[in-house]
Amino acid sequence: MEEENLSQKHSAMISRLENLHQSRLQQQAISRSNNNSSDSTSSLESTKSFLQNFTTSKNTIQSQLNHVTDPNTKPYLDNISLSITNLEKMVAENSYYLPNYEIRSSLKTISDLRAKLEIANAELLPKKKFSFKNKSTTKNVVQEKVLLENVVEEKIRVRETEGFKDKEGVLLVKSFGDLEEEGGGEFSLSNLISCEIRITGKCRAVFIHKLKSCRVFIGPIMGSIHIEQVEDCFFMLASHQIRIHFAKKCDFYLRVRSRPIIEDSNGVRFGPYLLDYDGIEKHLKECSLDEDTGNWENVDDFRWLRAVQSPNWCVIPEEECVGVVNISGLETPAVKRVGEF
């Protein structure tokens, strides 16, 4: 139940941040229309306002920590911990427009404040042999901290990475070509609806975020593929590691060196990698993915801890599996619709 609540918080937080971002974009558009102000000016003003508020809160917390001397100060320290958590939320909620270095600097400041709070806790509060309530509270604080940091880092990573973003109903093609041994860099797919994506050549890592009713065909990945918030999609992927989070009603045709991981997902099905294009065999070999390990059907569901099979995923029945899909030509889509081949 605790893990389920944390997952719900993560999903809710991402949705809230998206809504905040869209609201800010609308406000900025109205401001530009009325005042003829530029994006850069608006962004600078927002950043300046954030830094002022952040600095004020940080200084208050630092002052409180510097004046903690009474051994009977647990409620006082708890309030400081809550203030630090609110500071983390402030960073998360403003991460869409803040420069990346400001985000990382703010997170470093928060980390330093937490370290100082932990020292105060250790020095001033008496240790207890058993304190199940305190352990639970501490665990919740740590989980909330990790959740906030992951959300912020995810936004930075997707924003910094080259990729296809904010498209609907189009065919998107990317070729990394016959690159040197190191291969291409990182690539992201974000906020795509009813699109078909074809990526060929070698790439180090792929980040996939918020796709709906899309068909995704990707050549060999030398590192990992991270997938989050996808629905009614079809994927053909080859990678050393594949992690899937918040997926609904999707088919995954995989070749993967380690066991695929799913979290907070349901209605997902798995089959073997069946992609073909000119040069794929060479790319697979260079990425050490030329052999099918069979791990595509050895799925780990991190939210299902029982000994019996997880109900959230299954192997695609043989009669429903697609054949080999060749994406060398661009004349026609490789598939018309998920499930129709």
Q: Which residue did the predictor score with more confidence, 254 or 263?
A: 254
Task: Give me the long-range contacts of 73-82 (CB less than 8 A, separation at least 24).
Answer: 73/124, 73/125, 74/125, 77/117, 77/120, 77/121, 77/124, 77/125, 80/117, 81/117, 81/141
Q: Is the pLDDT of residue 115 over 80?
A: yes
Question: Could you give the number of structural domains in the chain?
Answer: 2
Q: Is residue 335 part of a domain?
A: no
Residue 304 and residue 286 in contact, taking contact as beta carbons nearer than 8 Å: no
- Range of weakest confidence among 25-34, 155-164, 277-286, 321-330: 25-34
- 148 and 34 in a single domain? The answer is yes
Q: Is residue 336 part of a domain?
A: no
- 35 and 139 in a single domain? The answer is yes
* Residue 339 DSSP class: T
Q: Is residue 240 part of a domain?
A: yes
Left (φ > 0), alpha (ψ -120 to 50) or beta: where does 213 sit? left
Distance, in Å, from the CA atom of 2 to the CA atom of 305, rounded to the nearest integer, reads 13
pLDDT at 129: 47
Distance, in Å, from the CA atom of 336 to the CA atom of 341, rounded to the nearest integer, reads 7
- CATH for 82: 1.20.58.1250
Task: Give me the long-range contacts of 1-4 (CB less than 8 A, separation at least 24).
Answer: 2/140, 3/303, 4/303
Tally of CB atoms within 10 A around 286: 17
- CATH for 311: 2.160.20.70
Choose the final residue of a domain: 128, 160, 192. Answer: 160
| Averaged pLDDT, 9-13 | 55
pTM, two decimals, is 0.57
- 72 and 145 in a single domain? The answer is yes
Choose the final residue of a domain: 160, 188, 214. Answer: 160
Within the chain, residue ranges assigned H as helices are: 2-35, 39-66, 74-93, 100-124, 132-160, 280-286
Residue 325 and residue 334 in contact, taking contact as beta carbons nearer than 8 Å: yes
Q: Is residue 331 part of a domain?
A: no
Residue 74 and residue 125 in contact, taking contact as beta carbons nearer than 8 Å: yes
- 170 and 300 in a single domain? The answer is yes
- 95 and 167 in a single domain? The answer is no
Q: Which domain holds residue 302?
A: 163-326
Q: Is the pLDDT of residue 324 over 70?
A: yes
Q: Is residue 214 part of a domain?
A: yes
pLDDT at 202: 83
| Averaged pLDDT, 209-229 | 92
pLDDT at 319: 92
- 171 and 152 in a single domain? The answer is no
Q: What is the pLDDT of residues 174-190, one digit of tens each?
A: 988 644 444 457 889 99
- 143 and 263 in a single domain? The answer is no
Hey, what are 233's tokens?
A: 């999609």
Q: Which residue did the predictor score with more confidence, 232 or 80?
A: 232
Q: Is residue 306 part of a domain?
A: yes
- 148 and 197 in a single domain? The answer is no
| Averaged pLDDT, 290-316 | 88
pLDDT at 160: 58
Distance, in Å, from the CA atom of 254 to the CA atom of 241, rounded to the nearest integer, reads 10
pLDDT at 334: 47
pLDDT at 222: 87
Choose the final residue of a domain: 123, 139, 160. Answer: 160
- 190 and 90 in a single domain? The answer is no
Q: Strand, helix or coil at 207? A: strand
- 229 and 147 in a single domain? The answer is no
- 244 and 294 in a single domain? The answer is yes
Q: Is residue 239 part of a domain?
A: yes
- 228 and 137 in a single domain? The answer is no
Q: What is the pLDDT of residues 18-41, one digit of tens each?
A: 555 555 545 544 444 444 444 444
Tally of CB atoms within 10 A around 126: 7
Q: What is the pLDDT of residues 67-92, one digit of tens each?
A: 876 656 677 888 888 898 888 888 87
Q: Is the pLDDT of residue 167 over 90?
A: yes
Distance, in Å, from the CA atom of 103 to the CA atom of 50, rounded to the nearest integer, reads 11
Q: Is the pLDDT of residue 103 over 80?
A: no
pLDDT band at residue 309 under the 50/70/90 scheme: confident
* Residue 197 DSSP class: E
Q: Is residue 341 part of a domain?
A: no
Closest by CA position to 256, among listed 231, 233, 237: 237
